[in-house]
Structure 1
Amino acid sequence: MTVTRKLLMSLTGLFLCFFLLIHFLGNTQLFLPPSEAQQSFNWYSHFLTGNIFIKIVSYVLYLSILLHAVYAWIITAKNKKAGGNYKQDARGRSSKWSSRNMGILGFIILIFLVLHFQNFWYVYKFGSIGLDPWGNKDLYTVVVTAFQQGWLVAIYVVAMIALGYHLAHGISSGIRTLGLFNPKFVRWVQYLGVAYAVLICLGFALMPIYIFFTSK
């Protein structure tokens, strides 16, 4: 049962990593000039909500987040009960700070996700927001208005730092758990994991910072 949990943790975690990349690429439109960004970002948001394939993927995403969070809590609780850390490295390598605190990092990310869904997903789905000049829901204005608040920008930056540490350890750990691990390439896997984590999280952190300083 423990092996099954770890496999599900790895599969859901790697799927979420892939989703983060797609989400990041889509959100880079926020760096465009305001009028162009508004049209492009709102069309993109409309496309995501109206495409049946994307809807199916979104349900897989919600399920993955739920399973990843639940199994992370179970594994963390069991390891604490056994007197161990979140992740024991059977290969004898010294554990890093991120591996010893994956539970805490995951909890910070979970709280951030609740806030993120409330600010944008819930508002877009169920809130009353206006239309842009092209007839699409004006999510771009919602995003810009939200990120004009310094405290919210700060929360996003802190959350991205936590996500960066979480990804840097989680990617290599997930690959090892799935058996896609070769000692000859361990450093390359770790380097690629860190590079991916830095690129994605730095990019996401820069988005609210960019909007905060350019939309005044």
Structure 2
Amino acid sequence: MIEIFNSSIGKKLIMSITGVFLMLFLLVHLTVNLMLLVGDGEVFNRAAHFMATNPAIKIIEPLLAIGFVFHIIYATYLTIKNRKTRPIGYSKSASNGVSSWSSKNMYILGATILIFLVIHLANFFWKIKFGTVDTITYGTETMHNTYALVAGLFISYWWYDLLYVLGAIFLGFHLSHGFWSAFQTLGWNGTKWLKRLEVIAYIYAIIIGLGFSIIPLYFLIFK
């Protein structure tokens, strides 16, 4: 069994499974973050509070995050190892130019995203979990004023908005290849399904890339 995961196919399988965790995590994360654009912050604060306190979410979200982190760590390990031997690429390139470019630069895109992720976690996650974020009360509920933290950063530092948008664009390129490649490795590799997956991958990548880009641009332009 261990020999399977030491093989080229096994390594791709691990990357594909953890990649699916990454894609689910991003979808959930984006859904909550888009609530920053609604109202004066109450909707987002309540959503963030729900994600932080709901028992089911407290179990599911860490599992998705662990899959996300393992995807990054394992990709880094494979990159270093493959440079000493030979590159082990994805099993097939897409028929379009953009995905082909993305497939050839997956590790570079991933490394860029990782740098952005570290900055993002330092500014938001770390401050929320271990910092001194102000609280706010709605009715009888008191919670972190996460909206003020996020909005304050986007409003005060235009360069961070541009960095955030750049990170979202790189993420979109990464996903444009990674999405269909993951499902192809998991068995959806027929000619008919491959074409469909390429289209779905583009749609998903655009939704994620554009969705995350809209948030800082909204605060940069309208706030």
Q: Same fold (TM over 0.5)?
A: yes
Equivalent position of 1:213 in the other structure: 221
Aligned residue pair count: 212
- Give the direction of change, closer, same or farther, for the CA distance of 1:57–1:91 in structure 2 (3 Å limit): closer
Q: CA deviation at 1:79?
A: 3.3
Query: 1:179-207, CA deviations, whole angstroms, 9 ceiling, x for partnerless residues?
Result: 12211222211011011101111011010
The residue type equivalent to 1:57 in the other structure is I
For residue 78 of structure 1, report the CA deviation from its aligned partner.
3.6
The structure 1 segments of at least 4 consecutive aligned residues displaced by more than 4 Å after TM superposition are 90-95
| C-alpha distance 106-211 of structure 1, shift in aligned 2 (>3 A) | same
By how many angstroms is 1:92 displaced? 10
Q: Is 2:9 the partner of 1:6? A: no
* Coordinate RMSD, CA, aligned: 2.2
* 1:167 correspondence with 2:175: yes
The AA in structure 2 aligned to 1:190 is E
Q: Counterpart of 2:46 in 1: which secondary structure?
A: helix
Distance 2:207 2:95 in 1: 29
2:210 aligned partner? 202
Q: Which runs of 5+ in 2 are unaligned?
A: 1-5
Letter in 1 for 2:153: A
Matched, 1:110 2:103: no
Instruction: Name the CA distance, whole Å, in 2 between partners of 1:10 and 1:93.
Output: 21
Q: What's the TM-score once normalised by structure 2's chain length? A: 0.87
Once the two structures are TM-superposed, the CA of residue 91 in structure 1 deviates from its matched residue by: 9.9
CA contact (8 A) 1:85 1:100 kept: no
Greater shift after overlay, 188-197 or 57-66? 57-66
From 121, 138, 150, give the equivalent of 1:143. 150
CA contact (8 A) 1:10 1:174 kept: yes
Residue 101 of structure 2 aligns with an amino acid whose one-letter code is W
Contact 1:76/1:86 (<8 A) preserved? no
Q: Quote the residue 1:130 is aligned against.
A: 134
What is the Cα deviation at residue 171 of structure 1?
A: 0.6
Counterparts of 2:195 and 2:103 in 1: how far apart (Å)? Answer: 16
Normalised to the residue count of structure 1, the TM-score between the two structures is: 0.90
1:184 to 180, 192, 196: 192
Cα drift, residue 21 of structure 1: 1.4
Unpaired stretches in structure 1, ≥5 consecutive residues = none
Superposed CA deviations along residues 75-105 of structure 1, whole A, max 9, x for unmatched, are: 2234333343643539999981111110010
SS at match of 2:143: coil
